[in-house]
């Protein structure tokens, strides 16, 4: 494993992609940055982190024979690896907010952005970006956000947590390559935020919907049971969970 440590970059995902264009980058190369000037989240959202207080890093994963049909399984494995690290650190009330935000209670502490490069029907490489709130305690006007320091009541060693995260991520990615890791699917579903609880959703037209999260489809869509036991699946841009 090679770890490249930067003081600042626009985005660790972008840095790693640019590096791949100019040189041969080995599997599981890691790029970390104390400061990101243009950190990104799901659907083009920004990821704002106080300089030097948190973990913002990206990991390159190369695949030999991994079907695009299994791309959500990759998201599941990354989510569960982060969940395991935080569980071992005794972070309370952990859940995964579909598709892959990590929450403590109702507060987001970690975001994940996975960008895949394809060759035909296969995923050739994945760049896995992870942003974890560690020692930041002031989030200005952001709602439903927390950090390890706020949750555990003490400062956390960033390097130690990074090593824990990378170790768990390697183990889960090894499983997905060598075992298929289908057994992780029900584990992921059982840890979903608000699974089997009455919840409110907002669709793309601004309409509010009441329903129950029942799981995730093989394509990674959220399975929601609506009124009169109607089952509907929603893609990432089709619905937002309100809480």
pLDDT tens-digit map of 44-93: 555 567 889 999 999 999 998 899 998 999 999 999 999 999 999 999 99
Q: Is the pLDDT of residue 180 over 70?
A: no
Q: Is the pLDDT of residue 42 over 70?
A: no
In this prediction, residues 126-153 reach a mean pLDDT of 94
Alpha helices, DSSP H, located in the chain: 12-22, 71-88, 148-152, 158-178, 184-190
Using CB atoms within 10 A of its CB, is residue 34 exposed (0-12), middle (13-18) or buried (19+)? Answer: middle
Percent of the chain past pLDDT 90, that is, above it, reads: 79
- The pLDDT, as a whole number, for residue 44 is 52
């Amino acid at each position: 494993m090679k770890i490249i440590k930067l003081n600042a970059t626009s985005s660790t995902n972008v840095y790693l992609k640019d590096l791949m264009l100019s040189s041969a980058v080995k599997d599981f190369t890691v790029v970390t940055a104390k400061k990101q000037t243009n950190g990104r989240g799901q659907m083009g959202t920004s990821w704002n982190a106080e300089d030097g207080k948190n973990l913002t890093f990206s990991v390159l994963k190369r695949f030999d024979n991994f079907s695009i049909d299994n791309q959500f399984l990759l998201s599941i494995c990354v989510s569960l690896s982060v969940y395991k690290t935080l569980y071992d650190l005794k972070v309370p009330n952990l859940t995964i907010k579909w598709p892959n935000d990590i929450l403590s209670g109702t507060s987001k502490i970690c975001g994940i952005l996975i960008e895949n490069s394809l060759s035909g029907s296969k995923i050739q490489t994945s760049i896995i970006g992870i942003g974890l709130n560690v020692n930041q305690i002031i989030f200005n006007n952001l709602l439903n956000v927390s950090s390890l320091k706020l949750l555990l009541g003490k400062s956390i060693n960033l390097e130690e947590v990074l090593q824990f995260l990378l170790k768990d991520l390697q183990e889960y990615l090894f499983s997905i390559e060598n075992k298929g890791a289908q057994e992780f699917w029900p584990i992921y579903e059982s840890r979903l935020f608000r699974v089997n609880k009455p919840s409110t959703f907002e669709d793309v037209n601004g309409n509010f919907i009441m329903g129950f999260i029942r799981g995730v489809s093989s394509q990674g869509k959220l399975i929601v049971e609506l009124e009169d036991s109607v089952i509907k699946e929603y893609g990432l841009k089709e619905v937002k969970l309100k809480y």
